[in-house]
Amino acid sequence: MTKSWGGGSSGRRTVLITGVSKGLGQALAIELAKHGHSVIGCSRSQDMLDSLCSLLSSSNAANSPHLFLNVDVVSICFSFTVIFPFPSHRLTTFGYSGCHFDSPFVLWQRSDSSAEELARVVMDKKGVPDIIVNNAGTINKNNKIWEVPVDEFDAVIDTNLKGVANMLRHFLPPMIQRKRGIIVNMSSGWGRSGAALVAPYCTSKWAVEGLTKSVAEELPEGMAVVALNPGVINTDMLASCFGNSASLYQAPDAWAVKAATMILNLTGADNGASLTV
């Protein structure tokens, strides 16, 4: 049985965490940094990144072992509005030949260019990460599936599933080239069971579990990709579902102590596993 490089908790690692500016990502970053590991983090919130950077970095930022970048792992490349001068015109491009539209509408072109640029910057400044934690996530407002707006459903799938795929697309090739590395895809208990009012979220996390199992079959010996259920933790996302009762559950900083140890000890033998902190 082959261990990946870095199996076991000794030695400084470079760990990339998406969605690092709050919740589980922030707590994990702080815990890893506390033990001397180098953290690369990305988030859509520059203000929250700045706050985290201040917490973790020395006064001499140039010598900081950490790197924080304002990146959305699911980017929208551009949009444009199609306006018809007369009613009920026929659209004959973009795959919609033969369809009638009576009012202006917006077409969006989604892209993984942000993840691609993130990979380029990380490789240039820090090299290939030892561990990647695909943590960025969102959840829909509690609603029955027929009451969830299309845009909200799309946002959950885009962030929770496509964001993971974008990271894998751009970071796995250099990791495979050196034949070592660990990928942790954050899943959920709701990625292994169903729950009312959060069907989009459950769908996305079940998909993450399936994606992880499939990608595991594509990795060379010594590498690993795992799906990690963090458990029930008091985060903003939990509060959106549970309300005030979310405060009854474990805090992210307490969770991070156990999670960091578990993640640092993952090896190639864990490839394809569905794990729980």
Q: Which residues are catalytic?
A: 201
The predicted structure's pLDDT at residue 105: 53
Residue 183 · residue 172 · CB < 8 Å:
yes
Residue 66 · residue 13 · CB < 8 Å:
no
The predicted structure's pLDDT at residue 145: 98
- State the Cα–Cα distance between residues 117 and 149, nearest whole angstrom: 31
- State the Cα–Cα distance between residues 243 and 99, nearest whole angstrom: 44
The predicted structure's pLDDT at residue 94: 44
With 0-12 CB in 10 A as exposed, 13-18 as middle and 19+ as buried, what is 10?
exposed
What is the mean pLDDT of each successive set of 10 residues along the chain, which is 277 residues long? 47 96 97 96 94 77 84 69 47 45 55 92 97 98 98 98 98 97 98 98 98 98 98 96 96 98 98 98
- State the Cα–Cα distance between residues 163 and 115, nearest whole angstrom: 8
Residue 167 · residue 132 · CB < 8 Å:
yes
Relative orientation angle of helices 46-56 and 23-34, to the nearest 10 degrees: 20
- Alpha-carbon dihedral angle through residues 210, 229, 248, 142, given to the nearest 10 degrees: -20
Tell me which H or E stretch contains 249: none
- State the Cα–Cα distance between residues 3 and 153, nearest whole angstrom: 39
Per-residue model confidence as pLDDT tens digits over 186-235? 999 999 999 999 999 999 999 999 999 999 999 999 999 999 999 999 99
Note the pTM of the prediction, 2 decimals.
Answer: 0.86
Place of tokens 């076991």: 8
What is the longest distance spanned by two Cα atoms in the chain?
Answer: 69
75-82 and 105-111 beta bridge pairing: antiparallel
